[in-house]
Structure 1
């Protein structure tokens, strides 16, 4: 019977050389053939390109299993080095976004315009910082991380140089758009690199450490900008950005090796036809706005709205600092920059603490459930206290300024804003990476686009609102948005798994 089965297999062009003496009866032979057929089917499903024409539907593996099976193992030192490199690169965009905030009055004076017009240089940069990731994430998820990081740094350097050489406010605004597009890549590509090299048990700490860079940017930027613009001139800020971007481009080129698994890359966008010798565009070119398709998932929409509220309040505080705290206490440009230290310290503590707490809860869940993977909502659970604190902190900040409270009280409220805001941002980022591990850059880009565009709107409207109703009621409005964000978090904690199961199917 076993011999008959073997002959039948040979007639069907199957080659199974390992049966031999280990097969004692027909039942064992059939079981072996069945298991090998399943293995071949599974292997083929990985190897067939996504766009291949097949007459039958291939089995699709779970996204998280697919990502875990492809991950290459990296040494601890390599992971830390890549994390630091991407963290510094991710710092560039947020750093440049607020570096010129203390210098806005000087810029307005040099170009003979008003403060509101000068603040458009911040708004336009934020718009670019929101739109740019859609393109960079699509490219990095399709073709790899390294060379798009390098290209973005070159664009950032050229845009920064254009800002430094601007001869009018219109030219400066245009160059800020160019600068923002270049600086926007590293925030989303960095998340992709983390997804490539870190296992789930270390993901929270890695994202916490990485997030400290982009969130420190709006803090360090005004400090550097305040001193340099006061003592060297505001153009020196953009010369500094040019140099930093150039150095990073060289470092990434020399020291970073591609981390994205080659099997996930799309074919090259332009190839040469072997028969005709002509260049041809690939039929599988990705759509730069495909990242926005993640908005078909209800959980992504809810978290994008929540992140928008967080960044709206955060940037409203930053853009108003020179004309609220600075004017109230008669601070110089450099002293206004120093007031951002409080919120920066909050950012560092929030990012680090949330990362460790998040990994602790995930690992504890896994040990209690015999190694079972934790649901992504567990990453959001650690943000609950922060979601309450930020409501109180935003209210305190507005009314402390309104009633001329001592400066330390105002800075303490801003410390709480930084602490809680970073905590929630890390939780949202972790949720995305665990929900969409093989498309982490793209979904994070979708989130970044929505939240940064909202932040750019708040940057544009905050100054006129402050002039009309004062800081107390202005920040009460933003506190109300944070309350809505808390309701979104509660909804995700109670109904998140059900929402995911419905929208994914």
Structure 2
């Protein structure tokens, strides 16, 4: 059986080609973990997803809105720190500790919910996440002491953070690699909006209604999203519904499916294509996300992505205090100054998505691979690392220049437009680079996309928590200009890891695939 969309011409970088060809007939056995497209009886290939463009647009919008709650819950809290400190009778530094613990749990929780969703589906994972999140927000709005605040913030983070990994997994369920840049870009709009809108909304609510109104606002917003998911969000996990043609269990269907009879759910016409069910390489578990870092290629990408995000968080976490000390702004004015960085992050979603898809098509032509619409492009013989990192690496160097410029215009106390312009370009370039790295991780580990997204989230949040803890003392010691220069230097020096992946990642992936195939052959009687 031929691989999907690949002509007889092979790219020059293929290692052990003879072994690959000999094993082709074995790779589609149950449990092999290789997601090859299976031909139907008439010889044609089944579509990667049977959802219409309108349905994909709805699922993308719902997933993006759900992913908004995690970064929004983190940033909406920032303008209320002084108010919480006064009401709880604790120092501001102790309130800052609740931000650090939030980020730690934001990194840990998706490993559990992501692994769960790769086995049981995205809908039950969303339901669990929103139930936990709603309960935590109600408790936060009603609590009156610091201990309860700390504990409930951890619970809030655990409930909300899973939606980020689930959003990326849903996009991997629906989109082929040739169009994944566009869809993951759209799915990431909510993640980009969170740090932008959070301080503005939080500042207004705290100023006019008090800090408790922040948590009631989150209850209402997440409640609306939860209802939409219960009523209309379809199951997309390929281990459960394949390309969407296989009916899920009755408990895992949206409520509207019980009111409107459709063959996709009832399968009265026998249209379910069970050959599209994805067989997992191994049953995911919470440790799976951590174990991905032990692979040479994935580990380098995850660690560098975390380093990039840590620098971004160092800017975001210190921006409010820097603006207050330099310009004397109140909480509302500080919140508005986050908008340029957020607009840059949102703009990056369209920019980098189009660039990724364009470069994928270009590399496919160079490597002799034919792209078929709505058919998955297998990457066993395709250098996906070159296709993705050719966009990432230049963006990193631009981001380094932008953050240096931001640091020194703040250092020399230029007029306000100077920092705001540089915040826009810092947000644009940094989030673009991080988005391409995230896409590469999902591409490599497409069989367990939620686990891969959770691994990315784990490393970036843990390193981001450390960055928020040391950024302010570092600025106090050497100044914001040299701090920004230090961050840019780390980014530039660390980019050597990506150059290594650019050159060796494909060969490493081939070696790992051959090793796993040998294990499978030995275990097969």
Normalised by the size of structure 2, how large is the TM-score?
0.79
The structure having more radius of gyration, on CA atoms, is 1
SS in 1 for 2:328: coil
2:41 corresponds to 1:79: no
Deviations 1:402-423 (A, max 9, x none): 2212211111121111111111
Aligned to 2:34: 62
Deviation at 1:385, TM superposition (A): 2.4
Distance 1:342 1:446 in 2: 29
| Pairs within 5 Å for 1:309-388 | 309-368=307-366, 369-371=368-370, 374-377=382-385, 378-388=387-397
Deviation at 1:236, TM superposition (A): 0.9
Distance 2:73 2:195 in 1: 8
Deviation at 1:70, TM superposition (A): 8.6
Distance 1:74 1:230 in 2: 45
Deviations 1:259-296 (A, max 9, x none): 1235589x99xxxxxxxxxxxxxxx9753222211112
Structure 1 pair 263/324, CA: closer, same or farther in 2 (3 Å)?
A: closer
Q: 1:236 aligns with which of 213, 226, 235?
A: 213
Deviations 1:369-399 (A, max 9, x none): 2517552211221122210111112222222
Distance 1:370 1:292 in 2: 33
Choose 375-384 or 200-209, whichever is displaced more: 375-384
Q: 1:420 aligns with which of 397, 414, 429?
A: 429
Structure 1 pair 371/463, CA: closer, same or farther in 2 (3 Å)?
A: same
Whether the aligned pair in 2 keeps the contact of 1:328 and 1:404 (CA below 8 Å) is: yes
Q: 2:29 aligns with which of 26, 30, 45?
A: 45
Normalised by the size of structure 1, how large is the TM-score?
0.82
Deviations 1:161-219 (A, max 9, x none): 22222212222111110000000111111111111111222211001111121122111
Aligned to 2:4: none
| Pairs within 5 Å for 1:256-295 | 256-262=233-239, 286-295=284-293
SS in 2 for 1:88: helix
2:417 corresponds to 1:408: yes
Q: 2:189 aligns with which of 203, 212, 235?
A: 212
Whether the aligned pair in 1 keeps the contact of 2:438 and 2:456 (CA below 8 Å) is: no
Structure 1 pair 157/412, CA: closer, same or farther in 2 (3 Å)?
A: same
Distance 1:61 1:460 in 2: 41
Structure 1 pair 496/253, CA: closer, same or farther in 2 (3 Å)?
A: same
Deviations 1:206-257 (A, max 9, x none): 0111112112211111111111111211211111111112221111111011
Distance 2:325 2:219 in 1: 31
| Pairs within 5 Å for 1:92-491 | 92-262=69-239, 286-368=284-366, 369-371=368-370, 374-377=382-385, 378-491=387-500
In structure 1, runs of 5+ residues without a counterpart are 1-37, 51-59, 269-283
Q: CA RMSD in A?
A: 2.5
2:484 corresponds to 1:500: no
Aligned residue pair count: 438
In structure 2, runs of 5+ residues without a counterpart are 1-21, 40-44, 243-247, 250-281, 372-376, 516-525
